[in-house]
């Protein structure tokens, strides 16, 4: 039996390092085997194996919420403001300007959203892709207050696709209630392609 002891094994000899892969162990061994794109001298980690199996290192996930309330105008689709974050693993959620998620890895994403209406009249929430394609509509006619939630799995190209949540109500109304469980938007990469 022979043993090869090396901390880095490059697979591929293409002059363009992005066409090569490297399997390696970190400088200080920690029980993981890393997989990187690039040459052995400077790979960019894309995943690792440990005793629990494979772990992707660039798998965007986020959870954002509105820490206060928001007013929406009657019969107008209004973008929901999610101005606080519980987490944003790949810095893909904009919680200051556009209140949208723009994932940087192509694949299929699981999205979840919820909006609390302090009064409800023909209310809906929409999961919107690229400001024009409404992929899902959650809600319906209800009187009084209402909490509308929804989820869907949607493809993102990893570069230009972005996702937002819009609210609609038949009359002027306030949404949210200053509680992160009453107005939220979350998502994660379910499968990269």
Top-tier CATH class for 61-192: mainly beta
Q: Which of 19-23, 58-62, 170-174 has the lowest mean pLDDT?
A: 19-23
CA 70 to chain centre: 23
pLDDT in tens, 106-153: 999 999 999 999 988 888 899 999 998 777 777 776 677 888 899 999
Residue 66 phi, psi dihedral angles, 5° rounding: -100, 120
| 181 exposure class (CB count in 10 Å sphere: 0-12, 13-18, 19+) | exposed
Those residues with Cβ within 8 angstroms of residue 73's Cβ, 6 or more apart along the chain or in another chain: 172
**Taking 60 as the threshold, does the pLDDT of residue 37 lie above it?**
yes
The whole model's pTM is what?
0.79
CA angle 189-192-193, nearest 5°?
Answer: 150
As a whole number, mean pLDDT of residues 178-191 equals 92
State residue 2's pLDDT score.
55
What's the rounded Cα separation, in Å, for the pair 106 and 163? 14
Ranges of each domain in the chain: 8-56, 61-192
């Amino acid at each position: 039996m022979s043993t090869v002891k090396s901390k880095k094994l490059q697979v591929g000899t293409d002059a363009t390092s992005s066409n090569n892969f490297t399997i390696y162990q970190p400088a200080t061994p920690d029980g993981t085997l890393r997989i990187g794109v690039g040459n052995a001298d400077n790979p960019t980690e894309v995943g690792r194996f440990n005793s629990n199996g494979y772990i992707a290192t660039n798998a965007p996930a986020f959870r954002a919420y509105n820490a206060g309330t928001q007013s929406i105008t009657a019969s107008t689709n209004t973008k929901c403001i999610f101005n606080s974050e519980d987490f944003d693993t790949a810095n893909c959620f904009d919680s200051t300007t556009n209140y949208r998620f723009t994932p940087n890895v192509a694949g299929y994403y699981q999205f979840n959203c919820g909006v609390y209406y302090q009064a409800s009249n023909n209310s809906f929430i929409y999961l919107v892709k690229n400001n024009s394609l409404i992929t899902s509509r959650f809600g319906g006619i209800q009187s009084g207050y209402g909490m509308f939630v929804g989820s869907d799995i949607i493809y993102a190209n990893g570069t230009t696709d972005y996702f937002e949540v819009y609210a609609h109500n038949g009359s002027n109304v306030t949404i949210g209630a200053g509680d992160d469980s009453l107005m939220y938007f979350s998502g994660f990469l379910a499968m990269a392609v």
